[in-house]
């Protein structure tokens, strides 16, 4: 059993996975998220400070939801965050499309280079040799 203290309220709870918050605080956060989501849909021109003050949610929590891509904004919305790779302003997530593409190419290149080639592996013995019983 994995017991931890909640980062929001300090209560002890049985931790399973995900953020280290108790079920009660997780429900409260989800209610706040729904409230923020509705406010953003009703007020597409609102910025983070306005949303934060109207919904009584910490701006860092709103930024976290944007980074997790849980909040979606219109193209003309003033809410933007910097890409963690190059600093370009983006609407949601952690990286811009260019950085995502570059990382994907780098990962694919790394995976392709480290993969053993099938032609270099030893050929399997003939079936008659494989099926024999062996003694140690």
Q: Does residue 114 carry a pLDDT above 60? A: no
Percent above pLDDT 90 for the chain: 27
Supply the pTM of this predicted model: 0.69
Listed range (10-14, 101-105, 114-118) with the worst mean pLDDT: 114-118
* 91 vs 52: CA distance, rounded Å: 17
Q: Considering only CA atoms, which of 82, 77, 75, 81 is closest in space to residue 62?
A: 81
Q: Which CATH number fits domain 22-79: 1.10.10, 1.10.357, 1.10.287, 1.10.3470?
A: 1.10.10
Mean pLDDT of 5-33: 89
pLDDT at 102: 92
pLDDT tens per residue, range 56-85: 999 999 999 999 988 888 777 888 889 998
Query: What are the start-end ranges of the E strands in 1-136?
Result: 3-5, 12-14, 81-82, 89-90
61 in Cβ contact with 32 (< 8 Å): yes
* 21 vs 68: CA distance, rounded Å: 17
Q: Hey, where are the domains in the chain?
A: 22-79, 80-112
């Amino acid at each position: 059993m994995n017991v931890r203290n909640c980062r929001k309220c300090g209560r002890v709870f049985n931790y399973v996975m995900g953020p280290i918050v108790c079920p009660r605080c997780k429900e409260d956060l989800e209610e706040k998220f729904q409230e923020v989501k509705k406010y953003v849909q009703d007020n597409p021109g609102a910025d983070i400070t306005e949303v934060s003050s109207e919904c009584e949610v910490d701006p860092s929590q709103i930024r976290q939801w944007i980074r997790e891509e849980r909040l979606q904004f219109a193209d003309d919305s003033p809410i933007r965050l910097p890409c963690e790779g190059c600093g370009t302003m983006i609407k949601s997530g952690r990286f811009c499309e260019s950085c995502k593409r570059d990382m994907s190419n780098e990962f694919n290149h790394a995976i392709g280079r480290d993969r053993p080639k099938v032609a270099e592996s030893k050929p399997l013995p003939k079936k008659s040799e494989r099926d024999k019983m062996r003694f140690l």
